[in-house]
A and B are shown apart, each in its own frame.
Chain A
Amino acid sequence: MPALLEVKGLKAGYGPTHVLHGLDFRVNEGGVTALLGANGAGKTTTLRAICGMVRTEGAIDFLGQTLQGRATEDIVRRGIAHVPDGRGTFMELTVEENFRLGAYTRRDREIQADFDRLCGWFPRLKQRWRQQAGTLSGGEQQMLAIARALLLRPKLLLLDEPSFGLAPLIVQEIFGIMRRIRAESGVGILLVEQNANLALELADLAYLLETGSIVMSGIAAEIREDEAIRRSYLGY
């Protein structure tokens, strides 16, 4: 399968300190790559590095073109949607306005059709259409964040811990949506998750991060079956 995103020797950090020490990984076209690891391993920084939100070294190629040194908004306009930690929702604006912002870069005529399609996926957002996003529950905000990201019609979706702080039932619902995205839209996903079991079930490739380096990588299904890795690294 051709690579959608190919990262080689990625180093990044804040100020003089490096958080990532040379990562190699890839996301296939239409594939799901899971990035696993404990708190502070560098998962969030990896996503930020791809989006140009931190200073980076190394090669980041997206559809064969480098993203290195580009501004966040330009990277986004090339088709990378990022649901950051904290979800990046505009709390002061309504659900509708958040939708409109999601489609900000688009000029095509299918925006309204996309609104309808996503409202079908997330019926609860339709109910809260004119409410301030800040009044939504955590689960609804996560759905809004994913909907907003998909409205960009991205080729690659970066998700930072979509299950964080949510009740198990809601987590199930969100992962259900992600399976649907994988099946129906052909969008590649780079998924950062602490819930390794769920992530590995969804992913085709998986990488395990420890203090800024990749310590284990491979086919997600194989890692999932490997009892030794599960015990020593994933802890379940």
Chain B
Amino acid sequence: MSASKGLHPEAAIGPIAVPAATPAWRRGLYLLVGIAVALAPLVLLESFHLFQLTMAVIMALAVLGLNIVCGYNGQISLGHGAFFAVGAYATAILMSHFDWSFWATLPVSAVVCGVIGYGIGFPALRLAGHYLALTTFSLAVAVPQILKHKSIEDWTGGVQGLFLVKPDPPAGLPLSPDQWMYVVTLIVAGACFLLAWNLIRSRIGRALIATRDNPTAAEAMGMDIASLKTRAFAVSAMITGIAGSLSAVAIEFVAPDSFSIFVSITLFVGMVVGGVASILGSLFGGLFVLFVPNIAEAISKAAPGVIYGVILILFLFLLPDGFAGLLRRIGQRLRIRP
């Protein structure tokens, strides 16, 4: 083991490789630069583009949720749009019917989605690979219909949906609601990415990956696979649900037809293109699914779908570890050269 480590450091440590500890002051510097880069759009972009960037970060967060259960734990979900919808509706209902503040709805939305995710995680345990994909796909197809149903119309607003208003920036901050929304999104998404980062690098994260790669061996080593998988589903649903909450206030509107199967498919495409089982990849995925369709829509209404499909297949054929994997390889090559 130690001999092989000496020969092939990357190969032996694999995807959970931790670079040699960076000194504290450099980490602090990276963090500052990161925050500066993240906040720069506040001054650089006007309202519409800032809104788009906000949505990109939200999509990245939703992709991150999917990546935890799908990428890291290997449970294929084609229905994460359902959690996105539940989160969005939880926030919308609480805000428009009960006048809750946005911040107060976040924990509720997280808990509701977490519980539903946990609940879905149980039948999912019995469904290997395709069966789970098929079931979650069916769930995603059925979502708009369920949201439209008469029995919950008083709550959901039926086909018309619900309107809501962006949270006001705190008094004293010289920010417009759009700018504040961007900051809110950054804070929430930042917290979730940090949570996911720590989770994946922890003992639990390694266990998730082990259960994906070799369930039999993981079980033989005493891991409780059932509990791991259901908890992964819960955390994953929670994160995607929070992204849904953010999207509801950012767009200031929810309606059943915004949550068709294509939300789920979009998240899946984002995950593959960004990088399966990569936290950074989720970020690329979010940027991709927001901006590529915008560019493609200039060609035709149908073009984004076709281009999505083509890019998805190209990535699967040529870059199966996505954008993040490509960057990682470029980085490695650069490091070897000097």
Q: Do any CB atoms of chain A lie under 8 A from CB atoms of chain B in the complex?
A: no
